[in-house]
Structure 1
Amino acid sequence: MITGLTWLLACQLVGEVAVRLLDVPVPGPVVGMLVLFVLLRVREVRDDANVVRAGLGLLRHLQLFFIPAGVGVVAYAATIRDQALPIAVALAGSWLAGLVVVGWATVLLERWLPQRSAS
């Protein structure tokens, strides 16, 4: 388990360092996840690998990772209340933009991918 956690943290560290060195506008953990994905695909890791067991152990307790976000909402409740309209508009707008982009991408993919016969 410690080896798996070390791999996960090392990939995050590599992502953070890469983002800071290259000065790209992407979060370091996202780059770290990409590095981890590439490593897992290149090494063809099986289900009993340490990094997989560590990831599953973390996923079992995923709800604990939402506690800091909940504390932040409570800490900034007054600001959220004062800015409720802009927040609601931003949430609705981003949801609608995401929906439109996914729909558009789906239509494009259906046109470009070969038609499969219904058998």
Structure 2
Amino acid sequence: MLAIILGFQLAGEVISRALDLSLPGPVVGLVGLVGACILRPAVAEAIRPAATGLLSHLSLFFVPAGVGIVAHWDLLRMHGIGLTAALMASTVFAIAAGAWAFTLVARLTGTEEPQALKDLGHE
């Protein structure tokens, strides 16, 4: 039921604003919804049809982002080079951080070489 999902989003907004949290309300609501689904699997089954319907139309959620780009076109034109540089640098840093974390975990667990490479004979 969509009402359950929206109810958790509303509760998250209320909690986030009441406690002056730095987390957005929908994130707080999502954490609550996940907790409810873990504690009561019937909740997960109740929202499954609505969640599946929302996910099948996920591309519609990008329309507001596109409208925002058009609405702020002058700002993007003015700061486009800086934004592009920041996006590229943050992407490279995120990939590097992911690779570093993977390597660290692999060393800590003693599995430095992935099993797939061993299966291919790249030992």
TM-score by length of 1: 0.83
Measured on the aligned residues, the alpha-carbon RMSD in Å equals 2.3
The 1:45–1:105 alpha-carbon spacing in structure 2 relative to 1, beyond 3 Å, is farther
The 1:103–1:45 alpha-carbon spacing in structure 2 relative to 1, beyond 3 Å, is farther
Which residue of structure 2 aligns with residue 64 of structure 1?
60
The 1:24–1:54 alpha-carbon spacing in structure 2 relative to 1, beyond 3 Å, is same
Report % sequence identity.
Answer: 37
The answer for unaligned runs of 5 or more in structure 2 is: none
Alignment of 1:1-119 (within 5 A): 4-45=1-42, 49-113=45-109, 115=111
The 1:46–1:11 alpha-carbon spacing in structure 2 relative to 1, beyond 3 Å, is closer
Task: Give distance in 2, aligned partners of 1:76 and 1:86.
Answer: 15
Contact 2:36 2:43 in 1 (8 A): no
Runs of 4 or more, structure 1, over 4 Å off, are: 114-119
Greater RCO (Cα-Cα under 8 Å, separation 6 or more): 1
Q: Count residues in correspondence.
A: 115
Aligned amino acid, residue 107 of structure 2 = R
Deviation track 1:59-82 (CA, whole Å, cap 9, x = no partner) reads 111111111111111121122111
TM-score by length of 2: 0.80
> Is the radius of gyration larger for structure 1 or structure 2?
2
Aligned amino acid, residue 34 of structure 2 = F
Task: Give distance in 2, aligned partners of 1:8 and 1:22.
Answer: 21
